[in-house]
Amino acid sequence: MATTSLDPGEGAPGGDAPALLDVHDLTVSIGGDRLLSQVSLSIRSGELVGLVGESGSGKTLTGLSLMGLLPANSSVQGSIRFDGTDMLAADGERMRRIRGGEMSMIFQEPRASLHPSRPVGKQIVDVILAHGAARAADARRQAAEMLGMAGLPDPWRTMDAYTHQLSGGMCQRVMIAMALVCRPRLLVADEPTTALDVTIQAQVIALLRRLARELDLAVLLITHNLGVVSALCSRVVTMYCGQVVDDDTAEHLLSSPRHPYASALVRASDVSLDHTGEQSGITGVPASPSRPPRGCRFHPRCPYAEERCTEETPGLEPTRHGGRTRCLRSDELVLPGVGA
């Protein structure tokens, strides 16, 4: 599977350009259960970053935390800064202006996120008016233009359609149009291709790539599909058990991963087959972030674990080629990547 081609310096963790989004030591508890622990990541303007990991690793919860969409019984520590704004200290009015205006999110299931008894065009117009992005007289035209940018062949006709009249791929394009109609600077896309067949997945990937380029849009792509990541993202952040365990370029992740979990994830994904032509699974059961094992959280499933891995808690440390990884043995291990 080919990876994205990178411009010099593009996508490198901690690059020279200032971060549009900077998350540091984000820790989230819900109902007393700690589900995210010291999550740190950053995204620069125009950068496409993948956030990957198994179900329950904390990917979606991280995205919801960025958007300020956590339940009332949540406790949040750490910092989230968006273009210099302290998101955790922002009042409700400031958050409403940022959410949907400067930062937007595509949720996992488009049909569940769109209102079934209202025309999709009216729903997009409502977003425009709520953020003051256009006058009422211009909002409908602006909505149709964005539907056209999202690749819908007859945007004016689509404006009056209901979700049951649209295919899954068309609903996803409507969701993308709704998320981008106010021209945000950051898009959080949560599993935008999961419910789509392979052909439509490729179309949505190409659409997101084109819109990111045309709108100078930063994208955080939350997914379990490393094939999608390799086609779209320049950098990949890997999560396990509520923590970031690896942050590297997509090229390095796929060819020479530095964390045993990242390596296992690549081998288990559809971008790599073992010598028998079968996918390689990850042994064991994912640890619970609310009740993590002592030491390295991955050590019960890690074939490279030593005695110290069961006692010492690794930090997220820089690697020799510019990434960051959370492994006590990262400097000594040579881990398999794609095709290994």
Question: By C-alpha distance, which of 297, 295, 190, 296 is closest to 241?
Answer: 297
Collapse the DSSP code of 123 into the 3-class scheme (helix H, G, I; strand E, B; otherwise coil) and give the result. helix
**Residue 76 corresponds to which tokens in the numbers above?**
């949040």
**Residue 200 corresponds to which tokens in the numbers above?**
């439509």
Tell me the C-alpha distance between 92 and 293, whole Å: 37
Set out the domains of the chain in order of their start, with CATH numbers.
Answer: 22-102+184-340 (3.40.50.300)
Mean pLDDT of 59-77: 96
pLDDT at 101: 87
> What digits encode the pLDDT tens for the residues 148-205?
999 898 999 999 999 999 998 899 999 999 999 999 999 999 988 877 788 888 888 8
Q: What is the DSSP letter of 76?
A: E
254, 243 Cβ separation under 8 angstroms: no
pTM > 0.75: yes or no: yes
